[in-house]
Structure 1
Amino acid sequence: MELAPIDWTIIGAYLLFSVIIGLVVARQAGKSSQQYFAAGKNMPWWLLGISMVATTFSTDTPNLVANIVRTDGVSGNWVWWAFLLTGMLTVFVYAHLWKRSGVLTDVEFYELRYSGKMAAFLRGFRAIYLGFVFNVVIMATVSLAAIKIAGVLMGLSPVETVVIGGIVTVIYSTLGGLKGVLFTDFFQFFLAIGGSIIAAYVALNHPQVGGFEGLFQHPEVVGQLNILPDFNDPAQALGVFIIPLAVQWWSVYYPGAEPGGGGYIAQRMFAAKDENNSIAAVFFFNAAHYALRPWPWIIVGLCSIIVFPDIASMKEAFPDAASVAGDDMGYAAMLTFIPTGWLGLVVASLTAAYMSTISTHLNWGSSYLVNDFYQRFINPASSEKELVMVGRISTVLLMVVAGGLALLLQDALGSFQILLQIGAGTGLLFILRWFWWRINAGSEIAAMVISFVIAVYFQFFHGYTGLPELTGWEQVVIGVAITTIGWISVTYMVRPTSQKTLLHFYEVARPGGPGWQRVLDIAEQAGREVQVYKDEAWRVPQGIFCMVLGSVAVYGALFATGYWIYGRWILAGFITVVAVAASVMLFKAWRKLITIGPEDEELYE
């Protein structure tokens, strides 16, 4: 299969359009680090929400879903569907807290929340750990997906894909900063959604598939259709459903679904014009991410089981990509049947998905390296022009390292499991640090180090110990248990954060709750006026109620869509009614949540 001139024209037009947007906003983005990394902190919810969705729709996402569907069936997607609970918690409990904090990055938060040299060390270390190490792994995973798709659709080698994709993306990413990313994400969102729908339509109409009827009756597909796992198989139910819903969502740090918010999701919150826009942006992201996008990917993954029943068949069909062939290549393999013209549009949509994610991670990672490492520790007196320049240099460096690592990875699902393990056990800390004064910088350092050491052990050394082999979910649970015990122990072993810092943080963020009562009591005994804080209603109980309703509404929309597609009308109709009822209740509960708090908005400033 070769791309026709019309296909290349469509792809080239999209790339040119992206560069033009970068050029248009480049001058404004270069004025200051706040413009470059936070788009002036004046963006509307709909633009930020769409950008979040576009960013998390990368080239590796449909590959990951196809991998899951081919190996564990539709129900296997619970390993990431469970993160909706994390997202809704961020929407209704943490989004307004992040916006109130007033920081440029979530790493800057550490010196707002903690005190002393340990807080400074944590900020610098976390900037390098997240901005460089962790971020590079994410971008390498995304680039791996691009390698597989380019190998199948264009016949490019892994090195050619990394070099070409890296150069184009770096040029675009360095021009416009976050504002350029947001504007291009807006168009990339619709292009990517359209491309995935075209891919699903073509896959269904493949002669070997025979539409929905042929797909759902095929013996190799029937067993893969269940939305809920087979509870008669405890191993599968535990791995893909029970552990994700009972443990994973609150305990594991994963980019885009961080417990308590963080990363590039927090970056978008900081860029919002106010708290309400921040909350609405994250809600739109979660609704679209979980309810709108998955089914076209799932359908393509199911169709690929019929056309390419095993990895050997994909290696035979695509010899240029044989070295990286795996179940996650099922999605790219099905794209080869898209006709000329439409194929160019789909490839452009995948290019958009790739560029959106990579550009976000480049800007986000660079913001850490510049704001939280270079300016904080290397040259505090640096000018805004210098900070932007350093940001652009670090952008190039991040892309080079990520491209090199991408050449060493093998499959999307394996990379997903590695990232889950690295963050296992840190999530509870990120949730509680806003509401429990005793958590300190030592707690965060312990959680980060312990979880990383455990991940390295399972990835590289466990096989040589002679101990029984563990499944992915067993490794995650063990990591969560050891890491949580470790950081809680260190919390009580390390000196608490200073009273001055704790009270200042409380005045800025206004988290509320019983976990801060001791801090307010000490301040009151010292003659500080804190009664206004004690009288303020706590938003968290109402926020959790909204979280539950939001989760029911989005899960309902997700499952109702699936059952409508399956042709199970009665069940689909019932779930649709539940989703609508939950949405109506959420609307009322959300309005009540907004009214909780002091009437004087100056108290938040």
Structure 2
Amino acid sequence: MSDPPAISPFDWAIVVAYVVFALWVGIKYSKRAGKNVDEFFLSGRRLPWWIAGTSMVATTFASDTPLVITGWVRDSGIWMNWYWWCLAAGGMLTVFLFSRYWRRGEVMTTAELAELRYGGLEARMLRGFLGFYQAAITNTIILCWVILAAAKIMDVLFDVDKTASVAIACLLALAYSMMAGFWGVVVTDMVQFVMAMVGSVTLAIFSWRAVGGASGVLAAAGKSEGGFTPDTLAFFPHAGGAGEPFWTVSLAAVCVFL
């Protein structure tokens, strides 16, 4: 492995400042979050929609996002983003249609919503299955790949082994989350989102200039493994193109999701 890039005192100052900020958020909101279960898990059901929405977007912009999306675009093309862009349809329905019914039902989880919606023994069994499936399987898988991505990034930037990286990241996240509940999550998400967007746009500008603009990108793409194809920069894929059954698999996934 090549030597990690040099980390300047200014870089370390940003890291330390964020750690201090996250712990401060945990302490500041701990009293409010400790009032009752609704305050801890749902911010008292008083969270403004734009803060909740930004938190959701920030969550999708986790440490794994730049790694996997870069790989998708490099290997298949820009159109590959539709594998996650398609989820926007379900998100919009959730915001403008389903959310009002969830609020009316005063539920805390989607599993609880299933029991309220259908009722009876079957609904209770469905709630138990959804609770187990989402908590023990889905969320475990998501946590593992996000934490692994964070460990890889810390290994490259700070030359910290994966075990220490996982311990540091988990302890910090657990500290402010357990103290401040959902308030701590959304407030830190807001700051993370701003930092991530500013950093991404800045990096994109410098990278674009470094490779020589559009001509440099096209030249590099032509030399990449697999070569440059018309699908690489296509916003929509050709039906059955690039060896990916996009129009069948993704369309089916959207229908199932909805």
Q: TM-score range by the shorter chain?
A: 0.7 to 0.9
CA distance in 2, matches of 1:42, 1:203: 41
- The answer to whether 1:126 aligns with 2:130 is yes
RCO comparison, higher one (Cα < 8 Å, 6+): 2
Q: Which of 194, 204, 212 is the equivalent residue of 2:214?
A: 212
Contact 1:151 1:157 in 2 (8 A): yes
Q: Which of 236, 239, 245 is the equivalent residue of 1:239?
A: 245
- Please give the per-residue CA displacement for 1:317-343, whole angstroms capped at 9, x wherever unaligned: xxxxxxxxxxxxxxxxxxxxxxxxxxx
CA distance change for structure 1 residues 95 and 220 in 2, over 3 Å: closer, same or farther?
farther
Contact 1:86 1:250 in 2 (8 A): no
Letter in 2 for 1:240: F
CA distance in 1, matches of 2:127, 2:26: 30
2:192 counterpart residue number: 188
Contact 1:69 1:76 in 2 (8 A): yes
Letter in 2 for 1:53: V
- Please give the per-residue CA displacement for 1:486-545, whole angstroms capped at 9, x wherever unaligned: xxxxxxxxxxxxxxxxxxxxxxxxxxxxxxxxxxxxxxxxxxxxxxxxxxxxxxxxxxxx
- The answer to whether 1:93 aligns with 2:101 is no
Contact 1:204 1:210 in 2 (8 A): yes
Q: Which of 67, 72, 76 is the equivalent residue of 2:76?
A: 72
Contact 1:28 1:35 in 2 (8 A): yes
- The answer to whether 1:228 aligns with 2:230 is no
1:7 counterpart residue number: 11
2:255 counterpart residue number: 250
- The answer to whether 1:139 aligns with 2:143 is yes
Contact 1:79 1:241 in 2 (8 A): no
Asked which structure has the greater CA Rg, the reply is 1
Q: Which of 31, 38, 42 is the equivalent residue of 2:42?
A: 38
Q: Please give the residue correspondences for 1:337-348 in structure 2 after superposition, counting only pairs within 5 Å.
A: none
1:484 counterpart residue number: none
CA distance change for structure 1 residues 4 and 178 in 2, over 3 Å: closer, same or farther?
same
* Aligned length, in residue pairs: 248
Letter in 1 for 2:104: R
CA distance in 2, matches of 1:133, 1:214: 43
CA distance in 1, matches of 2:124, 2:86: 34
Aligned-pair distance for 1:116?
Answer: 3.1
Aligned-pair distance for 1:235?
Answer: 4.8
Q: Structure 2: state its 5+ residue gaps.
A: none
Letter in 2 for 1:101: G
CA distance change for structure 1 residues 56 and 31 in 2, over 3 Å: closer, same or farther?
same
With normalisation by structure 1, the TM-score equals: 0.39
- Please give the per-residue CA displacement for 1:376-403, whole angstroms capped at 9, x wherever unaligned: xxxxxxxxxxxxxxxxxxxxxxxxxxxx
Aligned-pair distance for 1:131?
Answer: 1.9
With normalisation by structure 2, the TM-score equals: 0.88
Letter in 2 for 1:239: P
Contact 1:111 1:120 in 2 (8 A): yes
SS across alignment from 1:104 = coil
CA distance change for structure 1 residues 240 and 156 in 2, over 3 Å: closer, same or farther?
farther
Q: Please give the residue correspondences for 1:460-539 in structure 2 after superposition, counting only pairs within 5 Å.
A: none
Q: Please give the residue correspondences for 1:432-471 in structure 2 after superposition, counting only pairs within 5 Å.
A: none
CA distance change for structure 1 residues 68 and 241 in 2, over 3 Å: closer, same or farther?
farther
CA distance change for structure 1 residues 138 and 153 in 2, over 3 Å: closer, same or farther?
same
SS across alignment from 1:228 = coil
CA distance in 2, matches of 1:237, 1:146: 30
Aligned-pair distance for 1:241?
Answer: 4.2
